[in-house]
Amino acid sequence: MAERPEDLNLPNAVITRIIKEALPDGVNVSKEARSAISRAASVFVLYATSCANNFAMKGKRKTLNAGDVLSAMEEMEFQRFVPLLKDSLEAYKKGQKGKKEASEQKRKEKDKKTDSEDNDKSREEENEEEEERMEEEETKEGENEEEEAEN
Amino acid sequence: MAGSDEGGKMLDFADSRQVSLPISRVKLIMKSSPDVNNINQDALFLTAKATELFVQYLAAYSYKKGSGRESKCLTYHDLARSPEECDTFQFLADILPKKILARDYFKLLEEKEKEDEGDGEETDDSD
């Protein structure tokens, strides 16, 4: 699917909400202003990506990581963002870890259930498990491909 | 509680682990950058988050410095001024051009043409 220019824009509704959160109550934002901020945001992403990529290349890495993005912020003179970004990242990582553990926990519980319930029910769940397992295998395959590609 | 401050101060987010901007869209923009190979999940999150902070900062700063304050409205003009008011926004200069009345633009064009013609004819008289 070809990229259309609109696809490189960020959704208007979200941008508008973020702008409103930053301004005092009752302040309006002209359509032109909102559109301009949206464009500026896209340019910001590109600028940040380019900057971060320089750091990754310096480190001889092909994958941009969190450190690269934070270094880019400093480079772009947005060091004011860094403390909050670091905190957010920690919270985000904890959240991700929690999700992973929760889904692993679910699977363990399912395993216990299939042992002690009717055949019909266990058949249903087995199908679900199989699907999950297949998904896992797919992701694992995906990872292997990536590794090969990097090599 | 999300708080809003005068532009320039740090702005809080209600839930800092969340990000409102769609990560997939941010990824699309990042991937359109030349020479970029892969982007790890944390980097994606950080970029999306940083972009939100940027939007807030740009909006608050422009409003604070701008003339729209009287009318309680953030205008394009407020934003177009930000690159000259603040070095950090210099990279936006090209995409936030200032607007000029057509008649003033034509005047400028005329004056420029006169200058160019003048250069051809005049000689430098300085001794």
Average pLDDT, stretch A139-145? 49
Taking the C-alpha atoms of residue A98 and residue B8, their distance in angstroms, rounded to an integer, is: 34
pLDDT of residue B35: 87
> Distance between CA atoms of A132 and A138, rounded to whole angstroms?
10
Rounded CA separation A73/A77 (Å): 6
B13 confidence band (pLDDT: 50, 70, 90): very low
Q: Does the structure show a pLDDT above 90 at A127? A: no
Instruction: Kindly state the tokens that stand for A115.
Output: 């042992």
Q: How confident is the model at residue A135 (pLDDT cuts 50, 70, 90)?
A: low
Q: How far is Cα A21 from Cα B1, in angstroms, rounded to an integer?
A: 10
Map chain A to HEC letters.
Answer: CCCCHHHHCCCHHHHHHHHHHHCCCCCEECHHHHHHHHHHHHHHHHHHHHHHHHHHHHCCCCEECHHHHHHHHHHCCCHHHHHHHHHHHHHHHHHHHHHHHHHHHHHHHHHHHHHHCCHHHHHHHHHHHHHHHHHHHHHHHHHHHHHHHHC
What is the reported pLDDT for B8?
Answer: 43
Instruction: Give the count of Cβ contacts less than 8 A between chain A and B.
Output: 197
**B110 vs chain A: nearest CA distance in angstroms?**
30
Residue A58 pLDDT grade (very low, low, confident, very high; cuts 50, 70, 90): very high
Average confidence (pLDDT) over A118-139: 56
Residue A29: both structure tokens together: 């934002």
- Residue B58 — left, alpha, or beta (φ > 0 → left; ψ -120 to 50 → alpha)? alpha
Q: Predicted confidence band at A78 (pLDDT cuts at 50, 70, 90)?
A: very high
pLDDT of residue B10: 45
A contact residues 43-82, partner B, Cβ 8 Å cutoff: 43-50, 52-53, 57, 62-66, 68-70, 73, 76-78, 80-81
**Stated pTM of the model:** 0.72
Beta bridge partners of residue A63, listed in sequence order: B38
Q: Which of A1-5, A38-42, A94-98, B53-57 has the lowest average pLDDT?
A: A1-5
The answer to whether residues B40 and B98 touch, using CB atoms and an 8 Å cutoff, is no
pLDDT value, residue A146: 47
- The rounded percent of chain A whose pLDDT value lies above 70 is 71
B100 interface with A at CB cutoff 8 Å: no
Distance CA B72, CA A25 (A): 9
Give the other-Cβ count within 10 Å of A151's Cβ. 5
pLDDT at A98: 84
Backbone angles phi, psi at A30, to 5 degrees: -70, 155
pLDDT at A16 over 90: yes
Segment B38-66, tens digit of pLDDT: 999 999 999 999 999 999 999 999 999 98
